[in-house]
Amino acid sequence: MAECDWAIAQNIAEDCDNPQTRGLEADGIIINRKDIDFASCVKDPTNPNIVKTLALKTGTKGYSVAQSGATPFTGTQTAFAAGTYRNKFNKDVQFVVLDHSADAAHNIIDQLANGSFVLVLKNNYNGSDGKSKYEIVGYESGTRQTEGTRDPYGDADGGWIVKLQEVAPTSAIFLFDTDESTTDSAVASLLTPAP
Amino acid sequence: MAEYKMLEIGEVKERLAEIKGRFNLPLTGQDKAFIDRAYRRVFGHDVPNKKSGCSNCYKDAFIVLFNQVKTMAKLPKPSDYALKNGVVYQVPFSGAAFVGDVPNEVAEQILAKFPNKISMFARYPEDWEKRAKKSSKKAAKTDKTDKADEQPEPNVEQPTDGEPTGGEPTEPSESGEADKQPKGE
């Protein structure tokens, strides 16, 4: 097995024409990790941090995560995590479930508590070529719930604030295929009822 | 539990009516995904101009779709082939890209050349291999017929006197014979 060669390969600079911007869009997608057809997923051969095809198993679909407010998915962050033999990244995704109902409890909250999930989030910053628009969290080892709170008098108005975390070897995995329009179509198809 | 069902006319009409009720508001991502799916099912092709990033193409498509669907008692039969969710197939050397349903002839052409791509399909007929081979033979026959009709360009330099001295024969007699030859498996 080859030794890993850790070496920077790009200048650290700002793109003045397309400066980095903060934030996430209010619509994301959550997928049960067991519904990902990894055998059919394709990575970009030139960059292992890009997934070109995120395929779902036959008969499965993703579910939308719609957030409200000026800073959707507040609490979402990625942080370096020192490891014993290899350092990693803790990727946290936080969102609110503004629905405290029997259906939500059964179909969402109870499932989030013990399942493994993959999320597709949309960055406000798309990059000059659209490659930075969609980010996948949970592709490498799945996200699992680490926090969950429901306060009847809290900011979520009685709903849930949930945090999922993935401990991953990479800082970010992006979803991009060919161009922004093609990728938009692929992402939209994750939500359609299975063909 | 994951849903697994084809679009039905009732569902399409209901959803379109719901979108119509808030038509003055921007369409959501889910609205667009539904319009994509329903439009492809009804008309057999993608929403026009959506790749060019037009601001109104989905609303225009909605109007066309709504007006068409209200006259229909049932939806056209779907394609026998559909890609898995998340998969986009781009036709090489063309701007066309497919998600979801893929027209039968397009799917069979893909599978004739790349049978391993069957793993990208969520729905396909049991006899897809046979149909793909048939499509391949039909394409080969069409290709030979087209070549017989073409004037082949000379593949040698023109001599200074202007008369060609080489090149392929202009009367390929293989096309008829090729049809009669048994095809090896």
CA–CA distance from B82 to each of A42, A128, B107, B157 (Å)? 18, 32, 9, 48
Could you tell me if A157 lies within 8 Å of chain B, comparing CB atoms?
Answer: no
Contact status of B54 with chain A (Cβ, < 8 Å): no
The token pair at B178 is 């090729």
Is the four-CA dihedral B101, B104, B106, B107 of positive or negative sign? positive
CA distance linking residue A48 with residue A171, whole number of Å: 11
Report the pLDDT value the prediction gives residue B1, as an integer from 0 to 100.
36
A43 contacts chain B (CB < 8 A): no
Q: Is residue B5 less than 8 Å (CB to CB) from chain A?
A: yes
**Secondary structure (3-state) at A165:** strand
* A129 contact partners, CB below 8 Å, separation of at least 6: A179, A180
Overall average pLDDT of the B80-84 stretch: 92
User: Percent of chain A having pLDDT more than 90?
Assistant: 84
> What ipTM does this complex have?
0.85
Query: In degrees rounded to 5, what are phi and psi of residue B113?
Result: -85, -35
Q: How distant, in Å, are the alpha carbons of B31, B83, B119 from that of A195?
A: 17, 7, 14
- The pLDDT, as a whole number, for residue A185 is 86
Question: What's this model's pTM, rounded to 2 decimal places?
Answer: 0.76
> Is B86 within 8 Å of A188 when comparing Cβ atoms?
no
What pLDDT sits at residue B89? 87
Calculate mean pLDDT across residues A113-124. Answer: 97
User: Cβ of B90 under 8 Å from any chain A Cβ?
Assistant: yes
Q: What is the pLDDT of residue B150?
A: 57
How much is the pLDDT for B156?
A: 44
Closest Cα of chain A to B50: distance in Å?
8
Minimal Cβ distance to A194: which of B3, B119, B120: B3
* pLDDT recorded at residue B108: 94
Residue B176 has pLDDT above 50, yes or no: no
Q: How many CB atoms lie within 10 A of CB A167?
A: 15
The pLDDT mean for chain A works out to 94
Q: What is the pLDDT of residues A15-66, one digit of tens each?
A: 898 899 999 999 999 999 999 999 999 999 999 999 999 999 998 999 999 9
Residues 6+ apart with CB under 8 A from B108: B81, B128, B131, B132, B134, B135
Whole-angstrom distance, CA of residue A85 vs CA of residue A182:
39
Which residue type is seen at A191? L
Q: Is the pLDDT of residue A96 over 90?
A: yes
Report the chain B residue with the minimal C-alpha distance to residue A107.
B1
Structure tokens at B96: 């066309």
Q: Which of A147, A112, A118 is nearest to A134 (CA)?
A: A118
